[in-house]
Structure 1
């Protein structure tokens, strides 16, 4: 009789399961050891993105280099090109030794570079720029790995956002799903917004999953105000999953990585 008083879940069971499955897929295929030992929660602060620039191109290059490092792809042949120089490209074949990510990764061979570009409109919306770079690098990693995400090719775009969150960029991804137009709309620039397949609730769930696995409690502090209740609800759900899930890998991450 009082069921109507129960809070509604943040996500439907099917979408929550896909996010969990895809995060675990990323863990299994994209260097879970590096994730455990080195991946950190990247925050939109000067501590993570320091440096001064005197042009749009210089700022884009600085942010690109920083995102590349935080993603653990500093050894990958990824280069930034100006938008006007961006062209269709053939994805190169790469071979690595030791591991895929981090300074210990060894690029044994590659028959080319991967060119990424940027949206100049995002220079004044740095969280969009950071999240867009993270998405682009996640897509490169998926192509290099050659493993389709759960659900197949039709979920590839959404999976790039999961992998970008797996890289540690969940705060920026969550904050840039939707941009408020403001009171008069004069400062709103729709061309600067990044493209997102996942909803705010889905992005925040991934962020909460990342923070729960890592034993972090600072993720919500950097979210937009209206997203923090989503984070709290997702964390509660994940605590329950840590007690009830039948997935051994998920259980191991939810209960052993914290500390």
Structure 2
């Protein structure tokens, strides 16, 4: 006896349309053979980050090198610069400065000699977020000078950029770092802190990751095994929704790749 139960859709309406249109936009300019044969689902394993380090200074530089490599952007000129450390908010005992200024976790700018990405030294304590932010800033670099705006116009660039980082293979890092809630200890002070990263929600990023896996023919179990346990059920529901509506997947796959003429520098070279 068959069931009339239909799984509830994870994304609908304009949220779903934006994902589809953004993937079509990315496939047009950065798809083609390199997406299917060279872009990989980057995992938090030694296979993708094999370098050993002897100092904190090497952590950021070697991590950034691997992110550039897996993005296919090794030949794109880019300088990584460490910011000054945040001011110490702990003055001793239980005295803590409230609303103390802190630098952005990661910034991006483009000059005549290429991109400049700065990072907050605090990221050294959170390698997953470090990878996610490096990928996110390189995604800006990749798409910044395209003549065509992302779906919905340039005001949607931040949202489209989050999907671009997933498209480059860093969806697991993006999903796992979008929201962090953890305990901290600062001298005699113990408390809790939360951080929010990016423009899209974890559910939206999970759906973007599910599209990536389906386009690449990646077994969802491979991705799910590295996703936070609390998010795995949602990810599988995203996969189910795509499997039940494969027309929009075909729509993405049918987009014509316009070639490398819009790339500032060669990719995967």
Fold similarity call, TM over 0.5: yes
Q: More strand by proportion, 1 or 2?
A: 2
Q: Decide whether aligned partners of structure 1 residues 54 and 31 sit closer, same or farther in structure 2, where only a CA change above 3 A counts.
A: same
Equivalent pairs counted in the alignment come to 226
1:167 aligns with 2:168: yes
Q: Decide whether aligned partners of structure 1 residues 61 and 183 sit closer, same or farther in structure 2, where only a CA change above 3 A counts.
A: closer
Q: Deviations over 1:164-196 (max 9, x none)?
A: 000000001011111133599947554xx4621
Q: CA deviation at 1:142?
A: 1.3
Q: Deviations over 1:30-81 (max 9, x none)?
A: 2433111200000111221122223332100000000000000011011211
Where in structure 2 are there 5+ consecutive unaligned residues? Answer: 86-102, 256-269
1:132 aligns with 2:133: yes
Distance of 1:187 and 1:53 partners within structure 2: 31
1:116 aligns with 2:117: yes
Higher relative contact order (CA 8 A, sep 6+): 2
- Residue 202 of structure 1: which of 200, 204, 223 is its match? 204
Q: Deviations over 1:207-251 (max 9, x none)?
A: 111111111111111000111111111111111221x44x85425
Distance of 1:90 and 1:51 partners within structure 2: 27
Are the equivalent residues in 2 in contact too, given 1:77–1:112 (CA < 8 A)?
yes
Q: More helix by proportion, 1 or 2?
A: 1
TM-score, structure 1 length as denominator? 0.78
- Look at both structures and tell me which one has the larger radius of gyration over its CA atoms: 2
Where in structure 1 are there 5+ consecutive unaligned residues? Answer: 93-110, 254-259
Aligned to 1:103: none
Aligned to 1:81: 81
Are the equivalent residues in 1 in contact too, given 2:108–2:137 (CA < 8 A)?
no
Distance of 1:226 and 1:164 partners within structure 2: 22
Distance of 1:232 and 1:146 partners within structure 2: 36
Aligned to 2:225: 221
RMSD of aligned Cα (Å): 2.7
1:235 aligns with 2:239: yes
Q: Decide whether aligned partners of structure 1 residues 74 and 183 sit closer, same or farther in structure 2, where only a CA change above 3 A counts.
A: closer
